[in-house]
Chain A
Amino acid sequence: MTLPEGVERRSFEGRERLATSGPPAYGEPVVDGWRLWDAGRSKLGAMLDGGFDTGLRGGETVLYLGAAAGTTVSHVADFAGPTYAVEFAARPMRDLLSVARDRENLFPLLTDARRPETYAHVVEPVDVVIQDVATRGQARVALENRRFLGTDGRLIAAIKARSEDATRDPAPVFEDAVAELETGYEVLETGRLEPSHADHLGVVARPEDGTF
C-alpha cells in the first residue's frame, strides 16, 4: 500500500522504519530531520506499517480522538493539514501541549470524545477521523463523531478489546464492535494489530450515506 505523502520508510540503525519530518516531540530518534515513527508505540503507525489501505494521502484535515500525550498525533500533524486533537485526561494534556507548541496545525482540545457537542463549535468538517480511545463503547464514539465526516470521509480506528470487556475473548468483542459500527459506517477493512498491539483491531470505514 502507498504511504501518505510526508510518511517515508527511512533507515534507522540499518532497519527500514516509518518516519515523518517535523520538530522532535518526545525523544524519538531523528536522522536527517526524519523522526522515527515506532509502529510498536503507535496503532496508526502499526496500521500503515502493516499495509492497511487507510486512504490517507497527506494534507487531510483530521479529527484525532484519544490523542493522549501526543506521540501519534505529532506524526499525524507532520503529514496532515489542520489536526484537531481531543484528549480527556489532564495529565497527558501537558505533554500534548508541548507537542502542539511546535506545530502550527495542531489544535489541542481537553474534552470528552463521547460528547462531540462540546467541540463541534470548534472543529470543522474533516476528511479523516482517527480514533484511539480506551473507553467502553468505542463503536458508539465512532458513530457519535460521524457528524464530522463527509460522504468521502474516512474513519481509521483502533478498537481495544480489553476496554470493552477484559474477561471475554477478543474475537467476539471485535465482532460486536464492527456490527455496531456497521449501523452507520461501511467497513472497508479490518485486521488485528498483533504482534505490536495485543488485542487491538484496526478498522478503516467510510460513512454510510443516507442512514442515521
Chain B
Amino acid sequence: MTDGWFAGLEPGDTEAAAASIREGTAEEPADWPALAVQAGFAEDEASYYRLLRAATVAAASAAATERERADDRQLVHAVRVMDDCREAANGLAERVAEWGGSRDADAGAGLDYARELADSEPSDPVDRRVASLARRVVDLDEERERLRRFVERTAPEVAPNLTAMAGPVLAARLIALAGGLAALAKKPSGTVQVLGAEDALFAHLRGSAPSPKHGIIYTHEYVRGTAREQRGSAARALAGKLAIAARVDHYSGERKPELETELDARIGRIREREGGT
C-alpha cells in the first residue's frame, strides 16, 4: 500500500504539502479523504478538501513559476550574447592572425590559429601578449558554445511548438528579433517571413530594391534546401506556420504536433512543383 500525499505531514505546513504533491507518486489511487481522516491528518472530509486545495494551488503555482522563470527574456539575452560572442571571437581572431603574422611568416588564420597560439607559452614579451589575446578568443568561442547549449535547453520550454518547427537557435533568434514571444505572437506571418531582413525591406520600401523573400528564416532547411524558383513559396508557407506556432506557444502553451505534420506536407507539395529539390 502506497502513501497518500499527506503522509507524514503536519496539517498546517502548506509548503511541505506542496512539495509532496509535486514529488510524490503512487501506482493506484485510494480513498485518500477517508484515509486522511483515519490517520488524523484532517478532522473530517470538508477540512481534508480545504487542506488539499491549499496544497494543490500552492504546488501548481510554484511549479508554474519555476517553469516560467526559464522565460523568453532569458532566452533573448542568451541568443543575443551568443551571436555577440561569435562576432567578437571572429573579429579578435583576425587581429590575432594579423599580429601573429607580423611575428611569424607561417602564422595561420582564424579561430584554429588562435587555438594553436593559446596553447603556446612563449617567453618573448610580445609573443606572450599575442598568445594571451589568443586565449581570450578561445574563451569567447567556448562561451558561445555553452550559450548555444543553454539556448537548446531553454527554447523548448519557452516556445515548444516554435522550437519543434524551427529548431532552438532559429526559434530563439525569431523571438529576439521580434522583442519577445508575446511580440512575435502578435506579428502577421508576412512580418515573420522578413524578420532579420529589415535593411532589404527598407531599401525595397524606398523603391530601390525588390521585396525580400525571407529574413532569418533563410537558415531553415525548408527555405535554403528548396530550389530558388520555389523558395518564396516555401518561405511563405514556413513563416505562416511559425507565426501560428508562436501564437499557440504564447496563448496556450499546448503542444500541437499536427502543425509540423501540416508544414511537412505543404513543403512536400511545393517541392513537387519543381520536380524534386
Contact = CB atoms under 8 A, between A and B. Distances in A.
16 contacts: A90-B63, A91-B64, A93-B60, A100-B57, A105-B49, A107-B56, A117-B26, A118-B25, A120-B25, A121-B20, A122-B5, A124-B31, A124-B33, A135-B257, A163-B258, A166-B258
Contacts of A107: 52-53, 56
Interface of A: 68-69, 82, 89-94, 96-97, 100-101, 104-110, 117-118, 120-125, 134-136, 147-148, 162-163, 165-167
B49 A82 contact: yes
Contacts of B265: 166-167
A134 B255 contact: yes
User: Top 5 closest A-B pairs, CB basis?
Assistant: A166-B258, A89-B253, A91-B253, A121-B26, A90-B67
Nearest to B260: A166
B149 interface: no
Interface residues of B, number: 42
A91 B252 contact: yes
Interface string B221-245: 0000000000000000000000000
Contact of B27 (A120, A134, A135, A136): A120
Contacts of B20: 121
B255 A117 contact: no
A73 to B, nearest CB: 13
Contact of B257 (A68, A104, A106, A163): A163
Interface of B: 2-5, 20-21, 24-33, 49-50, 52-53, 56-57, 59-61, 63-64, 67-68, 250-259, 261-262, 265
B29 A124 contact: yes
Nearest to A149: B29
A162 B262 CA distance: 10
Contacts of B21: 109, 122
Interface centre among B2, B4, B257 (most CB of A within 10 A): B257
Contacts of A120: 25-29
Contacts of B257: 135-136, 163, 166
Given A90-B63, A110-B64, A121-B26, 10 more contacts: A92-B253, A93-B60, A94-B64, A105-B53, A109-B56, A121-B32, A122-B56, A135-B255, A135-B257, A167-B261
